[in-house]
Structure 1
Amino acid sequence: MTLVFEPQRPVLIPTVGDGHFPVRRLFCIGRNYEEHAREMGTAPDPEAPFFFTKFAETVVGDDATIAYPPGTANYQYEVELVAAIGKGGRNIRVEDALSHVWGYAVGLDMTRRDLQMEARGKGRPWDAGKNFEQSAPVGVLTPAQSFGLPTRGRIELKVNGEVQQQGDLGDLINPVDRLLAFLSGLYTLEPGDLIYTGTPAGVGPVVPGDVMVATVEGLTPLTVTVGPPQP
Structure 2
Amino acid sequence: MPATAIAGWLGRERVQTIVLLLLALGSAPVQAGLFDDDEARRQLKDLSIKTNDRLDTVSKGQIELANQIQTLRDENARLRGQVETLTYELESARKRQQDFYVDLDGRLRKLEPQMATSAEAKPAEESKPPVEAPRKAAASDPAAEAREYEAALNLFRANKLKEAAAAFDAFARAHPDSALTPSAYYWLGNAHYALRDCKKAIDAHRVVVAKWPANPKAPDALLNVATCQQELADAKGAKGTLEALVAKYPDSTAATTARQRLKK
Q: State the TM bucket, normalised to the shorter chain.
A: under 0.3
Structure having the higher helix fraction is: 2
Structure having the higher strand fraction is: 1
TM-score under structure 2 length normalisation: 0.17
The higher-RCO structure (CA 8 Å, 6+ apart) is 1
TM-score under structure 1 length normalisation: 0.19
